[in-house]
Amino acid sequence: MFDLFRSRDKVIKYLLSAFLLLVAFSMVGYLIPGYGGAPLGGDETAVAEIGGRKLYDLEVRKAIQAGLRGRQVPPEMIPFYAPQIIEQMINERVLEYQADKMGFRVTDQETASAIREALPQLFPDGKFIGNDAYASMLAQQDLSIGEFEQTMARQLKLNRIRNMVAQSVVVTAAEVEKEFKRRNEKAAIEYVRISPETVKAAVTVSEAEMRDYYEKNKASFQVPERRALKLLVLEPARIEASVQVPEERIERAYNQEKDRFRVAERVAARHILLNTTEKSEDEEKKIRAKAEDLLKKVKAGGDFAALARANSDDPGSKEKGGDLGWIVRGQTVPEFEQAAFSLKPGQISDLIKTQYGYHIIQVQQKEEARLKPLAEVRGELLDELRKQAVADQIVKTIEDAGREWRKNPQAWAEIARKYSLQVTDVEKVGRGEPVPEIGVNRDFEETVFALKKGEVSQPFQAPGEHQVIAMVTDIIPPSTASFEDSKTRIRDYLSNEKAKELAKARSAEFEAKVKELGDLRKAAQAMKLEVKTTPEFTRVGAVEGLGSADSLPDAFTKPVGTIFGPIQFGDAYVMGRVSARKDADNAEFISQAKAIREDLRARRVRERTALFEEGLRKHLEAEKILKVNQDVIKRITANYRS
């Protein structure tokens, strides 16, 4: 609604969103207080030193942890990303050193302008939200105003040196045209695909082969330690059925929380808005004339909703016939509020001018401020109190049951009956395997594998809001699986390996047959293989039934009729024939040229920036200005692998 409704909370929410976008992972290292100064927390181990400034071990760890907290990098991927994060932090400090050497400076005014441009939500209606709100927002990210503004200044400095590199990149019209033709040229092929799946029916594995494999590879059939468990499970439905909320409890809650049920004065309104923002004086006169004409139609009995749908400039309410729903004081701009709250139900306003334009307002309903009576909110309160009582009873029941079980591990049957718990026995479960009622739960797994035989766990929440406590009834030590227990696994493995070998042999046989007959289809017919034909595809597209077109360069470089392959796609082998080729449609060039130019330039900027950073880094290392401690880097990355 052109921000007709204003809310400080909304401003802060948008501000935080923009801030989090701004503090991208590429600059997270700069958000660590103390950059270029004394190390944090007293850890003086330097990962790198650039022109006398040190990048400390703790700074790197904090950057990685910041990525984890923001879930920008999944925890399981940290061992792979950690070395890249470290390299990126070193490169950014190298760039900052070079920017300082080249005399790049960022003034306070430039930093302020950058913040204002990046975060216009700091200045709603052109006015600064104030230092308290600004500082509060930054505090949620463990930052002070000074640290954030230093970060912005540093980023501006880095952007300048990167922009210097980017400005040297030029993409010619001929290059754009060539790329357009490359991207939009189309081809089609006919092909034969031989995969392990297509030949698996011909594979047999004997008992002797399986036993021989087992004897030679016994070490790979180790069964890790497993646990036998007894679970006591609390189903919430059993508690819910027994919980009652006394009437006096409902009355007490109502009296204690009356403020919740106070309704402010409010009106249900609809409006037609003719927007005048950023309009010239002449344009505004025409808009006012149109608004006056609409007002006459509305007051003459015209269909308000239809006129709103046809004429209103408010995208939030236009399609709803101008309906705004309920409005309370303080929710709209002052002129709109004054008009809306002065009208009686059914009345239509005169033209109301606000910062957004001209409004025609109709009030449909009006309610005075009041306290909702208990009868009106009783159902809502009962539902809340009952849910809370059930939750409290669930916690108490499972904790009491667990406490009694830990005191008397053999009394599980009596405890289950007393507290109406379901009993489940788990014969054997290993790490990473699903547990009945629990599924795969890392916390539960770590807990039960830390218990001794006969010990009882703390409660765990399972799917469906079930609560579970577990006792370890047995510990099965690691062992070698027997041949009989391993047969299925061995048969599957040997069948797959034989199928791969057979597919490779059949592919070689087919290749020979194609060379012999000089015809893909005749060779396929002779060997009873299926020939498939693809729809047209581009170099950057996918080939139906095969995958990425990148794997089939011959389709675009060889003449129509050329037989190619075999090409390996995973475990499958493909031989094909170029069946069609179509040049790019020049009529589409104009619509694609701008995007192609931008793509080419962005790619070259990335390549040239990477070359610049690599060359600069090598130069600084050769001059002993940059020193990198690889032992510290190895130690950090090793910690994330462990």
- CATH of residue 435: 3.10.50
Same domain? 128 vs 66: yes
> Do 528 and 573 belong to one domain?
yes
Do 273 and 390 lie in one domain? The reply is no
> Do 17 and 164 have their domain in common?
yes
pLDDT averaged over every residue in the chain: 86
Residue 11: pLDDT over 70: no
Please say if the pLDDT value at position 3 is more than 90: no
Per-residue confidence (pLDDT) for residue 70, from 0 to 100:
55
Give percent above pLDDT 70 in the chain.
Answer: 91
Same domain, 237 and 306: no
Burial string for 353-392 (b: 16+ CB within 10 Å, else e) reads ebebbbbbbbbbebeeeeeeeeeebeeebeeebbeebbee
Q: Final residue of a domain: which of 329, 350, 368?
A: 368
Task: Decide if 205 is inside a domain.
Answer: no
The pTM of the whole model exceeds 0.85: no
User: Tell me, what's the pLDDT at 494?
Assistant: 96
Buried b (16+ CB within 10 A) or exposed e, 107-137: eeeebeebbeeebebbebeeeebeeeebeeb
> What whole-number distance in Å separates Cα of residue 573 and Cα of residue 363?
73
pLDDT digits (tens, 9 = 90+) for 444-496: 899 999 999 999 999 988 888 889 999 999 999 999 999 998 999 999 999 99
> What is the number of structural domains in the chain?
4
- Residue 159, domain extent: 8-168+623-641
Q: What is the pLDDT of residue 138?
A: 75
Sort 231 into a burial class: Cβ within 10 Å, 0-12 / 13-18 / 19+.
buried
Same domain, 17 and 154: yes
| Residue 395 counted as domain residue | yes
Cis status of the peptide bond prior to 83, with omega within 30 of 0: no
212 part of a folded domain: no
Q: Which tens digit of pLDDT belongs to each residue from 143-156?
A: 788 878 888 888 89
The verdict on 13 and 136 lying in the same domain is yes
Q: What's the mean pLDDT in 27-50?
A: 50
| pLDDT for residue 603 is more than 50 | yes
Asked whether residue 24 carries a pLDDT value surpassing 50, the answer given is: no
Res. 22: pLDDT tops 60: no
Q: Which of 477, 506, 533 is the last residue of a domain?
A: 477
292 and 383 both lie in a single domain? no
Tokens 């449609």 appear where? 585
End-to-end CA distance of the chain: 53
Determine how many CB atoms are found less than 10 A away from the CB of residue 337. 17
| pLDDT tens for each residue of 263-279 | 888 999 999 999 998 88
Question: Does residue 18 sit in the same domain as residue 117?
Answer: yes
Mean pLDDT over residues 581-602, rounded?
93
> Per residue in 353-409, pLDDT tens?
999 999 999 999 998 888 989 999 999 999 999 998 988 999 999 999 999 999 999
Of 220, 198, 214, the closest CA to residue 494 belongs to 214
Q: Which CATH number goes with the domain that contains 333?
A: 3.10.50.40
310 and 413 both lie in a single domain: no
In a domain, 253, yes or no: no
Residue 611: inside a domain: no
Does one domain contain both 384 and 363?
no
Six token digits for residue 594: 């701008």
Q: Which pLDDT score, from 0 to 100, does residue 75 have? A: 64
Residue 220 lies in a domain: no
Burial group, residue 75, by CB count within 10 angstroms (0-12, 13-18, 19+): exposed
409 in a structural domain:
yes
Report whether pLDDT(66) > 80: no
CATH number at residue 117: 1.10.4030.10
Pairing of β 532-533 and β 226-234: unpaired
Domain boundary among 429, 457, 477: 477
| Region 511-528 average pLDDT | 96
62 with 41: CB under 8 angstroms? Answer: no
Which residues have C-beta within 8 Å of that of residue 406, sequence separation ≥ 6? Answer: 455, 456
Q: Quick one: which H or E segment has residue 266?
A: strand 266-275
Mean local confidence (pLDDT), 275-303? 93
**The tokens of 215 are what?**
């004897």
DSSP states along 444-513: HHHHHTTSPTT-BPPPEE-GGG-EEEEEEEEEE--EEPPHHHHHHHHHHHHHHHHHHHHHHHHHHHHHHH
131: pLDDT confidence band, cut at 50, 70 and 90? confident
The answer to whether position 592 is within a domain reads: no
DSSP state of 235: -
What DSSP state is assigned to residue 409?
Answer: G
3-state secondary structure 599-614: HHHHHHHHHHHHHHHH
Secondary structure of 164-218 as H, E, C letters: HHHCCCCCCHHHHHHHHHHHHCEEEEEEEEECHHHHHHHCCCCHHHHHHHHHHCH
Instruction: Tabulate helix, strand, coil % of the chain (nearest 5).
Output: 55, 20, 25
Query: Residues 361, 455: one domain?
Result: no
The answer to whether residues 575 and 564 touch, using CB atoms and an 8 Å cutoff, is: yes
Phi and psi (nearest 5°) for 70?
Answer: -85, 0
Q: What is the pLDDT of residue 59?
A: 80
